[in-house]
Structure 1
Amino acid sequence: MTRHIILLALLATTGIAAAAQGGPRSASAAKEVKFLEDIEVGFGTTTASNAGSTKAAPAAQTAAPRTATTPTTASSPTYAYSSTVASRTGKPAIPPVRTVDIEAAGTLHLKYALLLNTEVETVPALNLLVLMDDWWGTRYRLGGNDRSGIDCSGFTCLLFNSLYGKQLPRTAREQFQYLPAVDPNELKEGDLVFFANGGTVSHVGFYLQNNKFVHASTSEGVTISDLNDRYWQARFAGAGRYEPGAPANTGTSRP
């Protein structure tokens, strides 16, 4: 009798664990886990069913209260995330700061903590998470500015206008020339990262943290990629930072 009670208790515990993870484990569940791992480095599988579609952020699930942003203190966890250049020099990049308490985290905080491979408390602020999630998967279209298609510089223009009320020049090269250069070892959220093809700046992304940046990819649409991926390392051309009140570049300090 005692043995049967123990077995029933184990089965009940297993059932609770399976429910917490969204139901019984199956081949489809394993596929979803692999899909999230692929997205994390920016090369997730895009299917015909989601190509060209947007993923709206459900208001009911993302309306978790946001706490005031406070700098990381000595009592907070320390981070050693490195940028593309920092990974070669050993110099750590600027660590992320706390944006939300774990008790107040919503589904978007949890989702992007996984995608950015970071702590839930240090994911970007909720308004940026909602923007990224709302445009996620929107297909790439050269010269595009809307949900039917958007290009890389159009997406950074949209983010800057929505987040900072700042209008950027329209093309990646113009943005590269316009923003003051920033040391790649000191990247922080909101910096733009630029990539060149054949010596000409032709792509731009919005830096988040932990080497990750969000951009409108020609192959996947709006997605998150990793600066330390060999493809992006080979094409990295520099970074720029918008500082309110700071003068823009004249273009003479950029190639």
Structure 2
Amino acid sequence: MKHLFFVSVAAGIFSGTSISVKAQTAVNSVKFVGPQKKSVQFIEGIEIKRDAQSTAEPDVWATKPAVKPAPATVTKLTYKKTAATSGTFIESCTALQFKYAQLMDVDVELITNTKLYTVIEDWWATRYRYGGTSKKGIDCSAFTGALLNETYGLNMPRTAKDQYAICDKVERENLTEGDLVFFNTRGGVSHVGVYLANGYFVHSSVHGGVTISSLDEDYYNRKYISGGRVTQQ
């Protein structure tokens, strides 16, 4: 019996070895059979193939997850602080500043003298009346006198001719905000306005009342005499 048991065990061991060798042979045959094929096949059944239409290497990026682009960064625009802007930035500008910047075709941040434009707005479109001095009607020299007084605290003579007489004369290219501009519309100094910026001035016009006009307009360009700067304290 003992001999029979050992024979059986020995037969089983040799039998198992034989099976293992055959299995390994089968695996090797699966892995290496067909050396002319264009793909390699693994035991797990996963297969990597080249594109049938191209001999290029596989696109390694195709297997990576798509990366969403970073959201765009919005930078808030600011304006440099200069002597011209006096620290005024467009974000804090008022509707009044936008209105007059548009009328004079200038950058809104350059409209810094809000007191001046508030007074102009208060008189805006008041009709012209020769000899008038109120909101019911006002002439050119009365308006410039009222505007300079309310804005700068200056006391002006009543007529355009007298205002011209007390001013230091200023060349047209040197005009600055608050200077007076004089015209010959009826012989001699007969019309006056207050210079603002970019060739524009505010005045009480015979046809438009209190309004803004340009020195480059043909009529005012022809009638222009001089600029004047008030130096009295």
TM range (shorter): 0.5 to 0.7
Q: Which residue of 2 aligns with 1:125?
A: 113
Query: Which fold has the larger relative contact order, with Cα–Cα distance below 8 Å and residues 6 or more apart in sequence?
Result: 1
Deviation at 1:123, TM superposition (A): 1.5
Structure 1: which amino acid aligns with 2:117?
L
Q: CA offsets per residue over residues 218-240 of structure 1, 9 Å max, x none? A: 00100000000000011001110
In the TM superposition, 1:124-163 aligns within 5 A as 124-163=112-151
Deviation at 1:124, TM superposition (A): 4.4
Pair 1:107 & 2:95 matched: yes
In the TM superposition, 1:52-201 aligns within 5 A as 71-72=83-84, 97-98=85-86, 100-201=88-189
Give secondary structure in 2 for the equivalent of 1:200.
Answer: coil
Give the whole-Å Cα distance in 1 for the aligned partners of 2:87 and 2:199.
18
Structure 2: which amino acid aligns with 1:123?
I
Q: CA offsets per residue over residues 182-233 of structure 1, 9 Å max, x none? A: 1111000000000003541100000000000000000010000000000001
Give 5+ residue unaligned stretches, structure 2: 1-80
Deviation at 1:118, TM superposition (A): 0.3
Deviation at 1:112, TM superposition (A): 0.8
Q: Which residue of 1 aligns with 2:204?
A: 216
Give the whole-Å Cα distance in 2 for the aligned partners of 1:205 and 1:147.
17
Give the whole-Å Cα distance in 2 for the aligned partners of 1:106 and 1:140.
28
CA gap of 1:178–1:243, structure 2 versus 1, over 3 A, is closer
Q: Which residue of 1 aligns with 2:41?
A: none
Give the whole-Å Cα distance in 1 for the aligned partners of 2:193 and 2:132.
16
Give the whole-Å Cα distance in 2 for the aligned partners of 1:175 and 1:121.
31
Deviation at 1:98, TM superposition (A): 4.5
Check whether the contact 1:180–1:242 (CA below 8 A) recurs between aligned residues.
yes
Deviation at 1:99, TM superposition (A): 6.5
Give the whole-Å Cα distance in 2 for the aligned partners of 1:187 and 1:217.
20
158-167 vs 217-226, greater mean Cα deviation: 158-167
221-230 vs 171-180, greater mean Cα deviation: 171-180
Give 5+ residue unaligned stretches, structure 1: 1-68, 73-96, 246-255
The aligned length equals 153
Q: Which residue of 2 aligns with 1:227?
A: 215
Give secondary structure in 2 for the equivalent of 1:139.
Answer: coil
Structure 1: which amino acid aligns with 2:215?
L
Structure 1: which amino acid aligns with 2:218?
R
Q: CA offsets per residue over residues 59-81 of structure 1, 9 Å max, x none? A: xxxxxxxxxx9523xxxxxxxxx
Check whether the contact 1:99–1:122 (CA below 8 A) recurs between aligned residues.
no
Q: Structure 1 vs Structure 2: percent identity of aligned residues?
A: 44
Check whether the contact 1:214–1:224 (CA below 8 A) recurs between aligned residues.
yes
CA gap of 1:216–1:143, structure 2 versus 1, over 3 A, is same
Give the whole-Å Cα distance in 2 for the aligned partners of 1:184 and 1:203.
16
Check whether the contact 2:179–2:228 (CA below 8 A) recurs between aligned residues.
yes
Give secondary structure in 2 for the equivalent of 1:208.
Answer: strand
Give secondary structure in 2 for the equivalent of 1:113.
Answer: helix
Check whether the contact 1:101–1:121 (CA below 8 A) recurs between aligned residues.
yes
TM-score, normalised on structure 2? 0.62
Give RMSD over aligned pairs: 1.6
Q: CA offsets per residue over residues 8-28 of structure 1, 9 Å max, x none? A: xxxxxxxxxxxxxxxxxxxxx
Give secondary structure in 1 for the equivalent of 2:122.
Answer: helix
